[in-house]
Structure 1
Amino acid sequence: IPVSVTLPLQDEPFAGAVVANWFGNLLPEGAVRETIERRLRLPPRDNFALLAAIGGECAGAVSVGPESESPEPAQKMESDLEALIRAQGSDVGDGAWAVLGSPRRLSLAGAQDKIAVIRQADGRLTLPAIGEPSTHILKPESRRLPGLRDLEALGLRLARAIGLNAVQVELVRVGDRRALLVERYDRTHETNKLTRRLHQEDFCQ
């Protein structure tokens, strides 16, 4: 099955802009990306080095990693999301949440700080185990653009109110930070309570 309409099945390898555009748009941008590269000691602006490090859980059903790495069942890792956020303190820059819980391999595109999480049946938010699909995206209140969290929530709620198929959002507080919790549209929940990834791509790719 091809991963993209721009990368159909063929015997010859793909190269150039079509590859850079598709895989590059799985990755974070700007200050968030720079923070991850510094924290993980990766070469700057190397898309595939970054994907090898954090591409285990991307948008859609894509998981990217080293060729020698075989898919494994989810490896349970205990973590307290609120404790990790409190330990960072309140005076942190863009990208601080994107590197929470390393070495989990989580990649979310865009310039906003965010992290993939799982909302448990009891309402708790946890980081996914290695290999486990996330269910929601958690975005802290922007320090550069105050009010962005509320504006995004308002826009999505208005879209739902007029009948558009927009995702569910909640205004939450995690640790001492205000945040926006967004249900992932590229995940579905099976009758056996397992979360399944749904493949997707956007026009930027």
Structure 2
Amino acid sequence: MPLQEEPFGDPVVRPVFSGLLPDEGARQRLDGALGLSAGNAFGLLEVIGGECAGALSLYPTGMAPECAGQSQAEILTSQRLDEILSRLRTRPLLGGDEGSRLSLAGTQDKVAVIVDGDSIALARDGRPTTHILKPVIQALEGTVENEYFCMRLAARMPASSLAGSSPALSSKSS
């Protein structure tokens, strides 16, 4: 949306905010799990808003994210990580879980985490994250390997803006 002094109307604002949310399948599961009417983008953002792609944060009036040094993170064991990845099928983005306020667009289930050395932690209360983990898509064989290949290919392209270490992958099916 371009900068302007006049307020933007619904036809402009609604698609922008809807674009911050997961795509249809995950969105429908979230609506159902949270008891929201289908297609209620603003109601869904009110519950899961928090951190969104593009350095945008959405919080209800009177609620603000914790400062990075004060916010919590749950260090995950392998067992707890498996539980979280399995839970994403019924509760995309862990929407509605206490301390979890995050919205990431796209079709695939995912969760944002903090990777620090050999540890993986689940961010709470607005703490910035470093990585996105995606579980295996049961109906589409090879998606993990395909995503890994595409990331490695992109990293080798001359105009690449990808930096950092290789992604951690697991082809474990739950």
What TM-score results when the alignment is normalised by the length of structure 1? 0.70
Q: Could you tell me which residue of structure 1 aligns to residue 27 of structure 2?
A: 33
Structure number having the greater helix percentage? 2
Tell whether 2:141 aligns with 1:146.
Answer: yes
Aligned letter for 1:69? M
Q: Could you tell me which residue of structure 1 aligns to residue 43 of structure 2?
A: 49
Q: Could you tell me which residue of structure 1 aligns to residue 159 of structure 2?
A: 164
Q: In structure 2, the residue corresponding to 1:159 is in which secondary structure?
A: helix
- Structure 2 stretches lacking a partner, 5+ long: none
Cα shift at 1:100? 7.2
- Structure 1 stretches lacking a partner, 5+ long: 1-5, 179-205
Off by >6 Å, runs of 4+ in structure 1: none
Tell whether 2:55 aligns with 1:61.
Answer: yes
CA contact (8 A) 1:156 1:166 kept: no
Cα shift at 1:61? 1.1
**Percentage of pairs with the same residue:** 34
* RMSD between aligned residues: 2.8
Cα distance, 1:65–1:101 mapped onto 2, change above 3 Å: closer
What TM-score results when the alignment is normalised by the length of structure 2? 0.81
Structure-2 separation of matches of 1:152 and 1:86: 20
Structure-2 separation of matches of 1:23 and 1:62: 11
Cα shift at 1:82? 3.6
Cα distance, 1:100–1:93 mapped onto 2, change above 3 Å: closer
Q: Could you tell me which residue of structure 2 aligns to residue 98 of structure 1?
A: 93
Cα distance, 1:67–1:29 mapped onto 2, change above 3 Å: same
Size of the alignment, in residue pairs?
A: 169
Cα distance, 1:126–1:93 mapped onto 2, change above 3 Å: closer
Cα shift at 1:40? 2.1
